[in-house]
A and B are shown apart, each in its own frame.
Chain A
Amino acid sequence: MNVSIEKKIAAGFSVAVFVLLFVAGATAWNARRFDDTFRRVDHTHEVLTLLEQTLIGILSMQTSTQGYVLTGNETMLAPYNGGIKIVADSLQRMRGLTEDNARQHNRLERLDPLVARAAEIMQDRITARRERGLESVNEAETFIAGQEVVEQIRALILDMEHDERKLLDERVASTRSAARATFEATAFGGFCALTFIIGSGLLVHRDFRQRLRAEELLRKSQRMFERLFDNAPDAILQVNRAGHIVRANKQAEDLFRWSSSELNSEKIERVLPQRLYSPDGGHLSAYFAEPRTRVMGAGSELCGRRKDGSEFPVDIILSPLETDEGVQALAVIRDISSRRTNEEKIRSLNMDLQLQNARLEIANKELESFSYSVSHDLRAPLRHIDGFAGLLTKHADAVLDEKSRRFITVISTSAKRMGQLVDDLLTFSRMGRAQMQLGEVDHAQLVTSVVRDGGYDRSALIKWHINPLPRVTGDPAMLRQVWFNLIDNAVKYSSHSPAPEIEIGSRVDAADTNEQIFFIRDNGVGFDMKYAAKLFGVFQRLHSESEFEGTGIGLANVRRIITRHGGRTWAESAVGAGSTFYFSLPLHNAVSPSY
């Protein structure tokens, strides 16, 4: 249940007030009852006293009468006269007091005639003594009659007394209970009221502390906002619905070169020119129609205006801000001049790059046309040299001596060799320029087909060890060229061995699992490792043409192709101990562009 602290406190106090009212009511009621009972007790006491007086009055009348009868002394009658007065007075008063008590009242009604009778008898005796003297003393019947009446009175009064005492007891008990009830009600009420007041007090205390905490948090949050506002790297303007600047931070002052006091209550258009907004008040009122954080003027160029009227490009982010004056907007403004400048720089760099690219492309075109002319124009004269040397041999064979024939052979051989060099150079150039056609290359199949197609397996002498080879992404035609060159080399350079052995295999280096390494090992002539660096260069040869024929382009081709695949090439060897050639291919293929 989620009841607000205010409601809890109000409820607590209401209950306390209610209980207190109830207690007050109960106490008042009890007090009244108490007072009433008390009066009744008084009343009873009075009745008892009056009964006593009546009885005493009667008895003193009887005694007085008796005394007079015996002595004839008139002074003896003084108590008698007083008694009459007392009894009459007492009876009179009792009548008033017992009006509400029918029983006593009835008894009183019966008492009256008895008292009258007793008084009559006594008066008769007094009269008789006065008239007849001492002889009346012996008139026993009147005396006895008088005695009887007095006895009846006494009995009646005693009865009445008894009743009154009983009444008194009851009333005293009732008074006590009323007093107790009053005390209990007061105590209970007091306790309840105290409890509720303490409870409410605790709640109020707690609420108060929470309020203090909340206020502290609010103050902190306020301070944080202030700090953020003041120390933000960007200029911030707080703008009300009417478009007036309510507040500006230091950065805004610096950015627009206005002082904060100047900015305050200025229209926002002074610093963010009117044309930002459409003619009808535009963006800003539209913004307040649906205030949420948004980047203004997306796609358009926004401008800020300094005090001196100069303008600069800005980015603006508007966010709604709840204030006492309703929703306002926080405009975060960033000077993007430097970004623009950077963009300009990037654009210009890009232009340069494009220009350079174009130049490279031109260079590439030139290279291509050079290759083309090498291919076409350089080969023609070579063909003619060899062709006409051939024609000369045919034509003048009969007149040529041995020496001349050898000269012609040298001419012919040299032309052919140069033709081969030109062809190799063209192939090498093509390998660098040709578009790569990437696919999954089955190296096992590639090696097998190169060995078979090259007729290398027909040499019974060579012992082949071809280990299982993986599939790796690459250009199948180019990689075929790689394997051809490596296998051809291995066969060539082990051809002088008595028992040539060639092993082909692959592995993944534990240090770099991103590349697949292939190798081909022969037990041929090998080479001195100090020339290893020259090995993959164009037309670099470590053996003479007479030892092993070749133009020295094969390994250069291998390196160029593998490099284009993003791989590496290297070799290990020792003179006379065979060589191992390695190349690697990246497993997560990143193929370099053509060059």
Chain B
Amino acid sequence: MSSSTIFRPILLAEDNGNDIELILAAFAEAKLANEIVVAQHGEAALDFLYRRGAHAGRRSAQPALVLLDLKMPRVDGREVLRQMRQDPNLQTIPVVILTSSKEESDLMQTYELGANAYVVKPVAFDEFINSVSKIGTFWALLNELPTTTIGELEPSPDEP
């Protein structure tokens, strides 16, 4: 188990309340220890990442994973991804697209923008739980990141 990512939050950018609930249920099923931060639109996600707006003065580390829905109000997932990949401080944070779209064009576009993975939300509940918990387990527990990615402005006081 990687000590560098285990206590990083997971940023979930998802506008649909039902999906949020299902995803959170899946994470609970997976018994992930990471804090899940939910942003209901792209702008909120960017605010969190840039520690501004509602998240101004946020002291926690940058997320170990961003779970990004593509279709969101105001700023959509693609734009969030584009801005992240253009920012040297954010470009190495893993981004997994979690979407309903199976469109080839969406796949191409997001991979070109630098997505790390693309997962279509399964309709079947069991598969859905299974998929999301696997994503969480892999990216939050197994995946290693360079220390610069962690991008801590100030170490969290409760961190060892």
Contacts and interface: CB of A to CB of B under 8 A. Distances in A.
Contacts of B104: 430, 434
Contact of B121 (A371, A377, A379, A412): A379
Which of A384, A388, A389 has the most C-beta atoms of chain B within 10 angstroms of its own C-beta?
A384
B158 interface: no
A388 B122 CA distance: 13
Contact of A376 (B25, B71, B126): B71
A390 B102 contact: no
A376 B100 CA distance: 5
A418 B123 CA distance: 9
A53 interface: no
B19 A416 contact: no
A415 B70 CA distance: 23
B19 A384 contact: yes
A315 interface: no
Contacts of A397: none
A391 B102 CA distance: 25
Contacts of A412: 124-125
Contacts of A382: 123
A201 interface: no
Contact of B103 (A372, A416, A419): A372
Contacts of A426: 102
A375 interface: yes
A228 interface: no
Contact of A383 (B25, B70, B71, B122): B122
A375 B16 contact: no
A390 B19 CA distance: 13
A470 interface: no
A419 B123 contact: yes
A515 interface: no
Contacts of A388: 18, 22
Nearest to A379: B100
Contacts of B7: none
A380 interface: yes
Q: What's the interface size class on B, roughly? A: 20 to 34
A390 B100 contact: no
Q: Which of B19, B21, B101 has the most CB of A within 10 A?
A: B101
Given A383-B121, A391-B25, A375 B103 contact: yes
A386 B121 CA distance: 12
Contacts of B50: none
Given A382-B123, A383-B121, A416-B123, A375 B102 contact: yes
Interface string B70-106: 1100000000000000000000000000011111100
Interface centre among A383, A387, A388, A415 (most CB of B within 10 A): A387
Given A415-B123, A416-B124, A383 B101 contact: no
B22 A375 contact: no
A383 B19 contact: yes
Interface in A160-200: none
A419 B70 CA distance: 19
B22 A391 contact: yes
Interface residues of A, number: 26
A191 to B, nearest CB: 111
Which of B25, B123, B125 has the most CB atoms of chain A within a 10 A radius of its CB? B123
B118 interface: no
B129 interface: yes
Nearest to A395: B25
Nearest to B26: A387
A559 to B, nearest CB: 21
A423 interface: yes
A387 B21 CA distance: 10
* Most A Cβ at <10 Å: residue of B25, B71, B125: B125
Contacts of A418: 123
Nearest to B121: A383
A387 B128 contact: yes
Nearest to B22: A387
A61 to B, nearest CB: 169
Nearest to A422: B123
A415 B128 CA distance: 13
A434 B102 CA distance: 14
A478 to B, nearest CB: 13
Interface in A346-391: 371-372, 375-377, 379-380, 382-384, 386-391
Interface string A397-440: 00000000000000010011011100100100010001000000
B103 to A, nearest CB: 6
Interface in B108-153: 121-126, 128-129
Interface in B1-57: 16, 18-19, 21-22, 25
A418 B102 CA distance: 16
Contacts of A386: 123-125, 128
A380 B16 contact: yes
A426 B105 CA distance: 13
Contact of A423 (B18, B70, B102, B103): B102
A497 B71 CA distance: 48
A389 B100 contact: no
B75 to A, nearest CB: 17
A389 B121 contact: no
Contacts of A416: 123-124
Contacts of A372: 101, 103
Interface centre among B16, B121, B124, by most A CB within 10 Å? B124
Interface in A465-514: none
Nearest to A372: B103
6 contacts: A371-B103, A372-B103, A375-B101, A379-B123, A419-B124, A434-B104
Given A386-B124, A412-B125, 4 more contacts: A387-B18, A416-B124, A419-B124, A423-B102
Interface of B: 16, 18-19, 21-22, 25, 70-71, 99-104, 121-126, 128-129
For the complex of A and B, 9 pairs with smallest distance between CB atoms: A390-B125, A419-B123, A384-B18, A376-B100, A387-B22, A386-B125, A379-B100, A387-B125, A383-B123
